[in-house]
Amino acid sequence: MKPVLHSIAGSRSFRVLWLMHELGELVDVVPYQIMDGSLQAPEFKAISPARRVPALEIDGRVLHESGAIVQYLCETRAGHSLMPPVGDAERAEWLMWLHYAETLGAGIQNLNMQHLFLPDPAMRSVTVMGIETKRLAIALKGLEAALEDGRAYLLKGGFSAADVMMGFTLESAARYIRFERYPNMEAYLQRMAARPAFGAARAAEGPQEFYSKDFYDLPQQGGKS
């Protein structure tokens, strides 16, 4: 049976969809939206108790958490070089970058909430937005430094699933941090977007509907903080 990915376009579920295209594994995509109530439907609650995407129906089970799904797919699918094997010199670095993507993702999630999803603009905190933006920028500096040695991907051994985790994350981070200050990351993100599997996954996912602007500046101090 073909796997089924429960997905919101532009969310962490893209990591799973992109990786499956890199693996050449077909998947059916069931789309949802954040604000239309579809995540609260009883059918989805039965699949995802936390009412979050991604949720992947595969191999007779349902998996949640994009990082866990990415690692599971790498460990259970053969014939790829997307994960260094246990004992490989780059295995620890692979695991580190796999999860570093979620360090960035937590800040992006907080900024998404402040900029996009609070029901009343008066609930926004300029102070919180500033803090989260600075924290995200600091975390990005670590990645920029790691790419300074001219490597094309996170691992010297080549493209891996860690790049899938990070590539999506950087796409979202660029909504809040101007990448002109991070030339290594900007070039890295362009390499990710040029991959055929990335383009195929983007087409399969469809257009995202919650970001309405390419970039979100911090609002002027003077609102609630």
Q: What was the pLDDT predicted at 223? A: 45
Q: Quick one: 212 exposed, middle or buried, by C-beta within 10 A (0-12, 13-18, 19+)?
A: exposed
pLDDT at 222: 53
Kindly report the average pLDDT of the chain as a whole number.
Answer: 94
pLDDT for position 224:
44
Residue with tokens 């993507």: 101
pLDDT value at residue 221: 64
What average pLDDT does range 20-49 have in this prediction?
93
Instruction: Give the neighbor-by-neighbor strand order of the sheet with 4-7.
Output: 28-31, 4-7, 55-58, 61-64
* Residue found under tokens 């402040």: 114
**For residue range 131-174, what is the model confidence (pLDDT) as tens digits?**
999 999 999 999 999 999 989 999 999 999 999 999 999 999 99
Helix axes 13-23, 196-205, angle to 10 degrees: 130
Amino acid identity at 209 = E
Cα three-residue angle 34-52-41, rounded to 5 degrees: 70
213 CB contacts (<8 Å, ≥6 apart)?
Answer: 175
In order of their start, the domains of the chain are 4-76 (3.40.30.10), 91-195 (1.20.1050.10)
Copy the structure tokens of residue 202.
């983007």
Are 55 and 128 in contact, with CB atoms under 8 Å apart?
no
Give this prediction's pTM.
0.94
Kindly tell me the sign of the dihedral angle through the C-alpha atoms of 9, 147, 81, 85.
negative
The structure tokens listed for 126 are: 């300029």
Express each pLDDT in 71-113 by its tens digit.
999 999 999 999 999 999 999 999 999 999 999 999 999 999 9
Confidence of residue 24 (pLDDT cuts 50, 70, 90): very high
Exposed e or buried b per residue across 180-200, where buried means at least 16 C-beta atoms within 10 angstroms of its C-beta: eebebbbebbeebeebebbee
3-class DSSP state for residue 69? helix
pLDDT above 80 (res 114): yes
Whether residue 33 has pLDDT greater than 60: yes
List, in order, residues 6 or more apart from 66 with CB less than 8 Å away.
Answer: 12, 13, 15, 16, 54, 165
Please tell me what DSSP assigns to residue 213: S
Q: What secondary structure letter does DSSP report for 117? A: I
- Residue 1 scores a pLDDT above 70: yes
The pLDDT tens digits for 47-69 are: 999 999 999 999 999 999 999 99
- Rounded Cα distance, 63 and 52, in Å: 11
Q: What pLDDT digit, counting tens, does each position of 124-138 carry?
A: 999 999 999 999 999
Does the pLDDT value for residue 26 go beyond 60? yes
Give the number of residues written for the chain. Answer: 225
